[in-house]
Structure 1
Amino acid sequence: MKYWLMKSEPDEFSIDDLQRVKVEPWCGIRNYQARNFIRDELQIGDAILFYHSSCKTPGVVGTARVVGEAKADTTAWDPESPYFDPKSSPESPRWFQLDIGFERQFARTVSLKEIKADSQLGHMYLVQKGARLSVQPVTEQEWQRILLLAGEKL
């Protein structure tokens, strides 16, 4: 099992939305490195830190799991979709998605400010200069530290 952090803007799709629908296709990723993680590395059962970005208090708000294998992201083929990519096709998909399932919502947000201030999280990809990926790897130690800061059982 691997550990990941996935970012979502809560105005677009929040941890509350994931809790309500239970399983959601994680689609619309249009960054090649994040796409490669989805296509090549994320596996069913991998653990996800669910992160709210572009909001008043950005931070980790809960956890999820990968519950479906990577497959072509069909939003790339829909001209009405904001994620449309005319260079992608069913015969030669350029972008990929996978299903994630709700696991738990934290009682409190582990804020980006708090993460940056924690000496045990100083090497986390999230806090590196220029790190903006919406899908990024997390070490097991970082995973455990975030859960501890959230007041969750390990």
Structure 2
Amino acid sequence: MELILKTPVVVPAAEAWRLLGEAFGDVAEWTSFLKASSLDGPLREGVLRTCAPQKGFGPFSPGQVIERLVLFRPETMMFEYEVVTGLPGIVKSARNRWTIQAVAADRCLIRSHAVIEFGGFARLFTPLLKVMMLRDLRKVHREMCFRLTEGRPHPLACPA
């Protein structure tokens, strides 16, 4: 299953790259899905990011997730990560590639392309799972856009 979102944002591409690429380990600072996130070392390919969710994603309950940065290209503003632990049993694998493209000096297009492989009976429910996960991925993009354009986390991402 593929989930592709494209979000136009009125900020320079370099600013979006700073938030998404250079601050890869700090994703919990701007999304309401996570209460904490951290890297196990310097930002480079192979580094692990641990995410502590505060709510589930799609139909899945929250649980610690560890992701590996498998591609990191500052020169083209692209990165990709894969989940290495914490996937629900019905998910065989999950990867997400983010790219940032300048469309003008003051605006960019942010694209995420997630590929999720389900196993067993879950394949029968792929259309429903896709709808649920796309809903939450759109929310992540809205919170990201808010953070970039307003300069602060979305109110939902702020601790109570």
- Tell me the TM-score normalised to structure 2 length: 0.23
TM-score when normalising by structure 1: 0.24
Which one has a larger percent strand, Structure 1 or Structure 2? Answer: 2
Task: Identify, as 1 or 2, the structure richer in helix.
Answer: 2
